[in-house]
Structure 1
Amino acid sequence: MIYFAHEATRLATRPLAAWLEVGTQMARSELNPLRSSLTMRTMATLFELPHRQLKDYGKPKYEVRDHLGDVDVLIEPEVVATQPFADLLRFSAPDGREKQKVLIAAALSGHHATLLQGTITAFAQYFDTHITDWKNARDVPLSEGEFGFDEYVDHLIAFIEAMGPGTHLVATCQAAPPAMVAAAILAKRNPELVPPTITLMGGPVDTRINPGKINKLSNKLPLKLFELNNIHKVPPGYPGSGRRVYPGFYQLTGFIGLNPKPHFRQYAQFAKNSIRGEEEATDKFRSFYDEYFAVLDMTEEFYIESLRKVFMEHHIPRGLMEYRGEKVDFASVEGMRVLTVEGANDHLCPPGQTEAAHHIFSGIPAKHKHNHIQEGVGHYGVFSGSKFAAEIFPVIRTHIEA
């Protein structure tokens, strides 16, 4: 009923949201001769703040750019392959160079893959870059079937098959465990498709190590409670009506609830900057939160199975991980180099949890495994931002090119 109530409230407040948007636009319009006055800036702020709470945040567009000489080129995404719950997008700069292929496995944890635009931009300058563009579960008809942990692995394997041999695999956040499984399954079934390198960035490989708040919470509460509280049916009006999902708006509430103070500070600072007329700062705020508030629904199967296998029962480090009813043999992976990247200040996936992959891939020599801990960054800083571009990406680039 919560999803139905949320949708009813959303529809009922569309007129108010539209009115607030018009008010904001009029107050900030360049045709308004008073737009720069304190009174008008204050009025615009009073319109915009509630509008941002009520507006719909759709999936952002990809704006990946590359610098070719003195020209700033927008790289349009190309759909290379399609699966029921994701598209394989390719970002290739038209510079005529032959580049190594990289597949970025985006986390399926509430946000669209567009959250990784900075990551894609860095990779696209040097590699033939592809990414898993996950679909919103509410938009996938029930006729497409279920989507759980094994189906995520299926999608990765299908995309690697579409890209062909020599595809390097980069997994962000919660994509790390299924990416590891995909590599192990390929080692057994199709060795020529095993990625030459795998890069795991801030991924929960063994959440028993240095557990954070989320890890401690998942260990204390029963799985049934997560299911009863977080799983709801998609209401009528969407292609996936009737599908049981973990709604995006519910996930967003959880994200903010984990650490609400910075968000309140950001909004308070936005109000001050808006009234002062500091447009660069307010544009930066809008850009971040337009992306942050754009969330998608996850299927019940993937959410519950990930919780159980990764965060509660720790299937990978305990040697219990199965794929399609078959035990996964990570030790069988040999011809692959492993790089793990961790943020020193990561509160979602603390240091040590991703590095655990080195012990899991026991068949790979130690000289082909490396862990990079980046000082001064939290979870999102592991794969985006200035330190990612300046200090983390060069390490990944060297790892792949070597």
Structure 2
Amino acid sequence: MSTNKTHEIVILGAGYTGMLTAARLARRTRRQPVRITLVNPSARFTERLRLHQVAAGQQLKNFHIPDLFAGSGVEFHQAAATAIDTAARAVTLDDGATMTYDTLVYALGSRTDTSLVPGAADHAWTLDDPRLAHRFSVRLDEIASAGGAVTVCGGGLTGIEAATEIAESHPNLTVTLISAGEPGAMMGEKARAYLNRALDRLGIIRKVGVRVTKVLPDAVRLDTGETVDSDLTLWTTGVKVSALAAQAGIATDAKGLIITDPTLRSVSHSEIHALGDAAAVRMAWGQVHGTCQTGVPQAAYTAAAIARILKGKQPKPFRIGYFHQPVSLGRKDAVIQFTKADDTPNRWYLKGRAAVIYKEQVSSTPPIAFKVGQHMPVPVKLSTGGRATRRPA
């Protein structure tokens, strides 16, 4: 930095990416005239990796964001962003405040999209909010006492984890998993076979190769014409992002994701760094997906990149390669598919108790990194993808 003026860094969103970016920036810029403000509607950190556990009736530890950043220099502002003025470099918040920035980190994440299927927004539940997940668990207990039926729509990793968690904790329920594709299709043959055995063991009914055309108060209708009785429906398929970036004139793709350059900065506004679910990031082998495995390395990279820019240096391009697909199958079982850099499966996988321990380590690491990472370097497990990511996207 060439002047003594305080450099204002505003981070929008306190999910996994926003939290870790703030923690790492606090350590990397502590001797510089920098002010870091983290903006989020809730003062509680939401462990989205574990919301299927909340939905099944389990209690999670309460992580209070201001407490996690106590003594770090990071200022927390509880509010939601409603508009971004890129010309004035200012963010308008729903509490009436306006916050100016020199550097903006856009980490607002995504939400489940219930707008594409009639009735989903009115009659289906999602795993976007811990309060909703808790209310779902209360309703789940009521339905379980009557031996009712629960339907999970979406055969991705979230749907699989939710269905198995519910079936394990409420064995009296009839649990149906509905999926347009084969559950665990991204896994190798052996890991997928283990997954299906776990679904069989838990008594989960599968409707595969079908799509939901309507969600009713007590059922879901499929494109085959079949109607599946459902006292409680959980929607886990499809995502959407905030329209905030597009409304501000920031370059976005057709889905509203901010288009980034190789250093995760907006191609239209270089002072804006976009990461996590809200960013369109491409490697040579394709676009990265919105998961914690992507967001955490992006956060570590972004903190280092901003610190370099403040020193007048140019950051090297971001590179990532995937290395695993961890899936919990209730509290007592799990399967981990290890992958190539482009997220296709390799020959190795982990199952059973060893996989449970592995998955728990993956889920529990981020909150620890938020606290410790403010004061000392914390390694982030990261594959740069080797040769697969050295070519330009």
* TM-score between the two structures when normalised by the length of structure 2: 0.25
- Going by fraction, where is strand more abundant, 1 or 2? 2
- Going by fraction, where is helix more abundant, 1 or 2? 1
